[in-house]
Amino acid sequence: MPKKTVKYQNILLLVASYFFYGCWDWRFLGLLVFSTLLDFYSGLQIHNSKSQGGRKRWLIASVTINLGFLAYFKYFGFFVESFAELLSSNGLQAYSNMLDIILPIGISFYTFHGLSYVFDIYRRKIKPTTNFIDYALFVSFFPLLVAGPIERATHLLPQVERPRSFEYCKAVDGLRQMLWGFFKKVVIADGCAAYASPIFSDPGNYSGSTLVVGALFFAFQIYGDFSGYSDIALGTARLFGFELLKNFNFPYFSRDIAEFWRRWHISLSSWFKDYLYYPLGGSRFGKLKTIRNTMIIFTVSGFWHGANWTFVVWGIYHGLLFLPLLIFDKNRKNVGPEAAGRLLPTIREAFQMIVTFTLVTIGWILFRAENITKAGQYFGGIASKSLFSLPLYSGYQALILFIVLMFGIEWLERRSNHALERLRLRYFVVRWGMYLLLLMLCLANYRQNQEFIYFQF
């Protein structure tokens, strides 16, 4: 479509986005449209209000309704069951029978899109758009609708409003990033899931060494799954002339926990920093309040992931790992590139990466466990004498080779936006041979009914 018809481009993309979402469950399209209308109208009212009180009332109304829907669909059952368990532990009989509440896919993501919009209008960082189609496309653009990245109106909305035309180089680069994302999802993540899922489902039946293998496979699984989705989303958006926020920056090459969180799920970390950490005071009012604000951020981040105490504990765990760096002013120590100017890291850097990855993997056990009891069982199994036995599983040699291939390519291309961005193999046959190899690996390892992990959040 010609760039002069940006209005019709946006209508086409909006219809495609709603169709995409409706393919999951068309009944929840109403919730998506209502949320979009709420924030669109609230943004106009906040901007047009003559008094600060009026601006604040519309902001509070928008935030309350948005978070109310999120709390109902995502956390209502959790709070009811937790309250029932509390009563039962005190000898009181409690009945928590209730209707199963379906969690609308992507509700956390599109809710945060809308909230960032009204917050930025309230802060006078942006003016509201008067074009509902443009705003609705910003909220529901299909590549990012169900699992992010969490976009800002300051970044994406201007791209929605300006004319766009097809650019061959951007499209090719987008296809490369999509191919790499599919490789990480289908070959790495789904391959690791085949081994990790049975272990986490019944950790009591496996040796300590096998539990360690299961934890490692889940660490690779969640990275391949979520960063793979982000690559697919960014690559798809680039086909239509959009540049989405980078969500992963090779996080397993981090040298401390602070650097890990600057590289992992970047859009969520920055969202909480801008809309929760800074309003709480950030680091402006002394070390104690900075520590308090930091722990709030990590706890809320954990709770954002789902209605389970394992996520809350996982968030607190990362907060506690972050605190020593914060207290001793080391949280901004590793902001420069790793192995700068060298092919390989120094021994010190390699040790830091191994330690950081180990700490992160321990946290992934909490994240993946079905409940706190099974998490404790998992850690207890690792701490047993069976840790020094041979792992039970075998037959994953090819998968390990693929994991090494993934990290090897990403290490060599760690200065790029994605692993295949600077693929400039001299010969056409060799370059396309690599494309076809990755594609064939995806087709050969495809498994049905393997959803992306972050669809549940």
How buried is 453 (Cβ within 10 angstroms: 0-12 exposed, 13-18 middle, 19+ buried)? Answer: buried
Residue 155 annotated as catalytic: no
Of the residues 113, 265, 305, 318, which is catalytic?
A: 305
Asked whether 242 and 162 are in contact (CB, 8 A), the reply is no
Alpha-carbon distance values, 73 to 31, 186, 415 (Å): 11, 30, 40
**What gap in Å lies between CA 196 and CA 364, rounded to an integer?**
12
Taking the CA of residue 126 as centre, how many other CA atoms within 13 Å lie in the half-sphere pointing to its CB?
A: 18
By the 10 Å C-beta count (0-12 exposed, 13-18 middle, 19+ buried), 414 is classed as middle
What Å distances lie between residue 67 and 114, 295, 297, 316, CA to CA?
Answer: 11, 21, 17, 22
Token pair belonging to 82: 């937790």
Q: Which of 206, 193, 259 is nearest to 377 (CA)?
A: 206
Helix (H, G, I), strand (E, B), or coil: what is residue 300? helix
| C-beta of residue 85 within 8 angstroms of C-beta of residue 51 | no
Selection from 138, 127, 142 nearest residue 160 by Cα = 138
Distance of alpha carbon 225 from alpha carbon 452, whole angstroms: 6
Distance CA 180, CA 234 (A): 11
Cα separation of 59 and 117, whole Å? 11
Q: Which of 173, 183, 152 is nearest to 247 (CA)?
A: 152
- All residues at 6 or more sequence positions from 169 whose CB lies less than 8 Å from its CB, including other chains: none
Q: How far is it, in rounded angstroms, from Cα 365 to Cα 362?
A: 5
The half-sphere exposure of 69 on its side-chain side, counting CA atoms within 13 A, is 24
Judged by DSSP in three states, 163 sits in: coil
CA-to-CA distance for 225 and 239, rounded, in angstroms? 21
What tokens were used for 140? 């529901």
How long a stretch of residues is the chain? 457
CA distance linking residue 277 with residue 293, whole number of Å: 6
Which residues are identified as catalytic? 305
